[in-house]
Amino acid sequence: MYYCNNNSLIYKSRSETVKIEPWGKNALRVRVTYNAGFTGDDHALDKVQSEAQIDIGEEFASIANGKICCKLSKSGWLEFFKDGKPILKEYSRDSRGANGHSPSMKFSARELKPVSGSGYSITMRFEADKSEKIFGMGQYQQPNLNLKGCILELAQRNSQISIPFYLSSKGYGFLWNNEGIGEVVFGTNYTQWNAKLSDEADYWITADDTPKAIIENYTSVTGRAPEFPDNALGLWQSKLRYRTQEEVLEIAREYHRRGIPLDVIVIDFFHWIRQGDWSFDPEYWPDPKAMVEELRRMGTRCMVSIWPTVDKKSVNYPEMAERGLLVRTERGSVQCFDFQGDTVIYDATNPEAREFIWQRSYENYYKNGIDMFWLDEAEPEYSAYDFDNYRYYDGAALKISNRYPKEHARAYYEGMKAQGQTDIVNLIRCAWVGSQKYAALVWSGDIRSTFEALRDQVSAGLNISLAGIPWWVSDTGGFFGNIEDENFNELMIRWFQFSAFCPVLRMHGDRGPHNIPAFTDLDFGGGFSDTGQPNELWSFGEETYKILKKYLFIRLDMKDYIKGLMNEASKNGSPVIRTMFYEFPEDERCWELDDQYMFGSKYLIAPVLYQGMTEREVYLPGGEWKNIHDGEIYSGARTIKAAAPIDIIPVYERLK
């Protein structure tokens, strides 16, 4: 049976209860349980008041909120409409809801299978439209911008970010409102979502006229990025790794001497004695406060790397273990990660643990003037991604693990905000739905220095932007690279050109060959870990330096424009880098393009993504476009062949 209850449409049959309610503009939330009641957990969603129109009939009931409507049959299956046109419906091949198909397969649209003593394994199925295009879902290291036909693991890994929201070419957005490990299959026969362990099924759907309106609806219920600081819009300098205070200062002084503005310099991992100390090794960093003060006089902010790992020999391990502030294992030894230490991971789902790590960071970094944090390993990274072996304060990792990076970002954002800081931006390697509201600048992880990886980053950056994360960056040049590779400089130039037209421009990488000796033979302390080759703008020869410097100053000349894009992201959730269809949804060609994008609404960027390429095709939508390099004006609605010698990335300014 179905009935109306407190602005919601309820369906009950046997042990199943379905609840459909308005949630934000042109949006509905759907929950399904086999328990006596719903948990009351909103997961990724903020509380939003909306009014629904509910109609109850003999054979069907419906609930509408603006442009979206859900029709519920007497047998219990659901279908969604936008302005009266069908956009999504459940896939069912059983006796209750075969939708005109044979019921013999006994496929139900909604399956909640008990997992002994702990919850349900949940499967949800929807009919597929072969012509539909799917975008978003976070960041996956593959070249497909359109995810139709893809199988995606719903789990966090180094360089993989699961944010289970997609935008459809049919005019709707869909959020799988579940924090747990699972999988989605965007098949051509049906779409299937799975959560390995959960208490109830939960999803949210919105419909609107344009991708921009859909993203605005989505971010209105999951959060938007705060204002991006002006003093971080330029160049960020990083490498693996600056090992001493004096080395950091020498690099910053050289930028200053060359007249190159440097907004941020980054101190990478193992500047500490042991993982989990969250402090400098004083042998190599004797006076961090003086270091930060000198950097500030040169106009440079300082960021330090924070790992969530706690070595069992760390000064903080005994207290954290005693207070239950660490991730637990269900079996075997108490260990999560074994990279250069026997470590356990702090539990970001525990409010006390978040307060603990912030207080240590405050005492050892923030009070010395360091007001930016690089939250590395934030998935968190495990030696083995055996999610069934880990348990958090809030529950089993299988059930909640995907929101860990969001809680980690929250620890630092709330701590810094409590100190009155307003120019907050923290670099982090992973994210979940809503991470953007905690000033999270997401980077794409430890990726290879190859043109194949560069192509992946274009799709990765555009899709994570459509999943609500407007602040995104990659390691310019890739992370794993060797400067003695004969093609490395070409790759660095092409990647830097791309990065110049991304939300943030950041140099980073582990540059081989690894022939620089450590400072000590000890297996701990700030001098034992290795370091990579130089990674500054001038490190790759004079010709490469001239090109990198050219594009840095092109970016700096656009600083007011970029600031405007950041403000727009804060206001309505719009990405900084945008798929072509985001700006031109009526142009069918723009829904097919995966190797060019818009930098805001004004600039079309066509990165060079293949080794040896010196020209490429560029599609110009309708209107007039100006080549920023030579000033030539082109009429749009056509494909042109653009020259792309090594010092040129094709960029066109939209005139009208």
Contact, 167 vs 211, CB < 8 A?
yes
**By three-state DSSP, how is residue 28 classified?**
strand
Between the alpha carbon of residue 603 and those of residues 250, 476, 554, the distances in Å are: 36, 21, 13
Residue from 448, 520, 508 nearest 476 by CA: 508
Q: At residue 221, what is the residue type?
A: V
The whole-angstrom separation of Cα 193 and Cα 191 is 7
Report residue 123: phi and psi, to 5°. Answer: -130, 130
Residues 6+ apart with CB under 8 A from 60: 71, 72, 73, 74
Do residues 594 and 143 lie in contact, with contact meaning Cβ atoms separated by under 8 Å? yes
DSSP classification of residue 398: H
DSSP 214-252: HHHHHHHHH----PPPGGGSSEEE--S---SHHHHHHHH
User: Out of 281, 446, 456, 536, which one is annotated catalytic?
Assistant: 446
Q: Could you say which of 199, 281, 376, 583 is catalytic?
A: 376
Q: What is the secondary structure of 594-646 as a DSSP string?
A: -S-EEETTTEEE----STT--EEEEEE-SSEEEETTT--EEESSEEEEEE--T
Residue 40 in tokens = 């009351």
Question: Does the annotation mark 376 as catalytic?
Answer: yes
Location of structure tokens 């390691």:
475
Cα–Cα distance, 95 to 87 (Å, whole number): 23
Asked whether the beta carbons of 139 and 55 are under 8 A apart, the reply is: no
Q: Is 208 a catalytic residue?
A: no
Number of residues that make up the chain: 656
The amino acid at 80: F
R_g over Cα of the chain: 25
Cα angle at 244 between 240 and 248, to 5 degrees? 75
206/61 Cα distance (integer angstroms):
19
User: Which of 87, 47, 56, 45 has its CA nearest to residue 69?
Assistant: 87
Among the listed residues 268, 371, 379, 394, the single catalytic one is 379
Residue 361 contacts residue 280 (beta carbons within 8 Å):
no
The helix/strand/coil state of 361 is: helix
Catalytic annotation present for 446? yes
Cα–Cα distance, 393 to 414 (Å, whole number)? 19
CA distance 16 to 35: 8
The set of catalytic residues is: 376, 379, 446
